[in-house]
Amino acid sequence: MKSYTKYLWFNTEKKRQYINITHEVEDALRESAVQEGMALVSAMHITAGVWVNDAEHGLIQDIDEWLENLAPFKENYKHHRTGEDNGDAHLKNLLVHHQVIIPITEGLLDFGPWQQVYYAEFDGQRRKRAIIKIMGE
């Protein structure tokens, strides 16, 4: 079995931003030359996440509104007693999770219809990264 690692760096313009990274994952897969296996994509920060879903603009807005309703920004999170102001970003991370695993079949990401990979930033405007780990034969 072989493995390949690639890091993606982000410094978003907005505090919350959703970035389609499907092409970057496909590039990493090509670079790895793995034909059968798995691709792990993981946000390396506890205020960011990764998901697989449709790349439709209205759905992205719906997801953003849903996350903000479930974990709204507010002043009185206990986490803020530490001097931070990103309690909501930690909760949003828990809702979307920090990583996904995508099967690789015949050298391609084995997605269902419409599936794309997104990096979800909940406390941006600073440098962060995600890891792509390709494993297989």
Q: Which domain holds residue 61?
A: 2-136
Residue 23's pLDDT band (boundaries 50, 70, 90)?
very high
Total number of domains constituting the chain: 1
Alpha-carbon distance of 52 to 85, in angstroms, equals 28
* Lookup: tokens for 76: 């009185």
Q: What is the CATH number of the domain that holds 33?
A: 2.60.120.460
Matching residue, tokens 């205020």: 47
**Residue-wise pLDDT tens digits, 34-91:** 999 999 999 999 999 999 999 999 999 999 999 999 999 999 999 999 999 999 999 9
